[in-house]
Amino acid sequence: MRTHVEVALGWAERVVDANERVRALGSIVVLWADADRAAAIRYVQNSPTLTPAQRATLLEDVGSERGPL
């Protein structure tokens, strides 16, 4: 069974407009980070749908600079 996060990410990754896609992914990742920060960061770091600039923005949004996982 897929988790809510997997379903939400799958939906967001299919958004055609790049800006809307990143906005949707960002919302999901920030909420996910509250529950499992390490997993959210791993997703952002490894997502093939994100550019390096988008990754940097999302990592900043989840606060990956706050220290070790």
Are the C-beta atoms of residues 21 and 9 closer than 8 Å to each other? Answer: no
Quick one: tokens of 7? 């379903």
> Which portions of the chain are predicted below pLDDT 70?
1-2, 64-69
Q: 44: closest CA among 66, 33, 4? A: 33
Q: What is the pLDDT of residue 66?
A: 55
Residues 6+ apart with CB under 8 A from 21: 12, 13, 15, 49
Q: What is the pLDDT of residue 46?
A: 96
Give the residue ranges of DSSP H helices in the chain.
4-13, 18-46, 52-62
pTM score: 0.84
Q: What is the pLDDT of residue 47?
A: 94
User: Structural domain boundaries of the chain?
Assistant: 4-62
